[in-house]
């Protein structure tokens, strides 16, 4: 009984230690971190396969990771990839609901599209901001899927699902990380359209993105531990 009572706390301490160690050991090693992240999400999907809520979240996060990693791996600095990135961004933004985050991303998308036309007309060596827009679009799509996950699961899979605290945390987090991409793009626009040379967001971007990925893992692992703890205590 004592072991059952303290087991969730011990597991959370272990999970926190795992995330902290992963954050330190994998910094500046994106391929290694991505592989560990994917392996962790797949493992959690298998462990929590009876919980349709956690399983659904893990599948959405795996899709997000695959969409970003595969595009980055295949990405080349040419017009075709730029058009693909902007096309996907436009398509996603057009079909998503118009909350404040979506409207901000749309405003940046329109402004950057105008800047791209100006750079093309003036034969300026334009910065490669299209990947940040692609990431913003994927994070917005992930946010949308998380927000409507319970509805889609119940409607399409005929499985009873519910909105959880994990959904709420990740929806907010992905909204913030989508806005971070906009902040990065804004700095590029300022540097290439004005004499100013701000580098604040550029200097902290990798740190923040790394922390974001670790927080996502921690949220999902913590929710999985809570689910297993409830089942153990009820046994």
Secondary structure letter of residue 51 according to DSSP: -
- Kindly indicate the confidence band of residue 17, based on its pLDDT and cuts at 50, 70 and 90: confident
Domain count within the chain: 1
Q: Are 137 and 88 in contact (CB under 8 A)?
A: yes
**How many helices and strands in the chain, by DSSP H and E?**
9, 0
CA distance 82 to 100: 26
Q: Are 119 and 191 in contact (CB under 8 A)?
A: no
- Kindly indicate the confidence band of residue 12, based on its pLDDT and cuts at 50, 70 and 90: confident
- Kindly indicate the confidence band of residue 8, based on its pLDDT and cuts at 50, 70 and 90: low
What average pLDDT does the segment 20-26 reach? Answer: 89
CA distance 65 to 213: 10
Cα–Cα distance list, 25 to 16, 22, 65, 215 (Å): 14, 5, 20, 16
CA distance 129 to 150: 34
Domain encompassing residue 138: 2-234
- What does pTM read for this prediction? 0.91
> What tokens were used for 81?
């990839």
- Kindly indicate the confidence band of residue 197, based on its pLDDT and cuts at 50, 70 and 90: very high
Cα 175–Cα 171–Cα 205 angle in degrees, nearest 5: 40
CA distance 214 to 221: 10
């Amino acid at each position: 009984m004592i072991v059952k009572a303290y087991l969730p706390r011990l597991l959370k301490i272990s999970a926190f230690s795992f995330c902290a160690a992963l954050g330190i050991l994998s910094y500046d090693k994106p391929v290694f971190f991505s592989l560990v992240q994917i392996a962790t999400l797949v493992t959690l999907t298998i462990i929590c396969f009876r919980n349709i809520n956690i399983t659904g979240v893990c599948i959405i996060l795996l899709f997000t990771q695959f969409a970003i990693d595969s595009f980055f791996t295949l990405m080349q600095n040419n017009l075709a990839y730029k058009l693909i990135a902007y096309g996907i961004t436009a398509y996603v933004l057009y079909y998503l609901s118009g909350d404040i985050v979506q409207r901000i991303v749309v405003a940046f998308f329109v402004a950057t599209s105008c800047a791209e036309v100006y750079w093309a007309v003036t034969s300026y060596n334009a910065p490669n901001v299209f990947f940040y827009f692609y990431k913003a679009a994927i994070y917005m799509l992930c946010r949308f899927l998380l927000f409507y996950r319970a509805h889609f699961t119940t409607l399409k899979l005929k499985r009873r699902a519910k909105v959880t605290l994990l959904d709420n945390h990740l929806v907010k987090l992905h909204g913030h990380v989508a806005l971070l991409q906009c902040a990065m793009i804004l700095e590029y626009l300022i540097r290439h359209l004005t004499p100013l040379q701000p580098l604040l967001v550029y200097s902290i971007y990798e740190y923040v993105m790394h922390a974001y990925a670790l927080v996502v893992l921690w949220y999902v692992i913590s929710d999985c531990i809570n689910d297993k703890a409830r089942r153990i205590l009820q046994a």
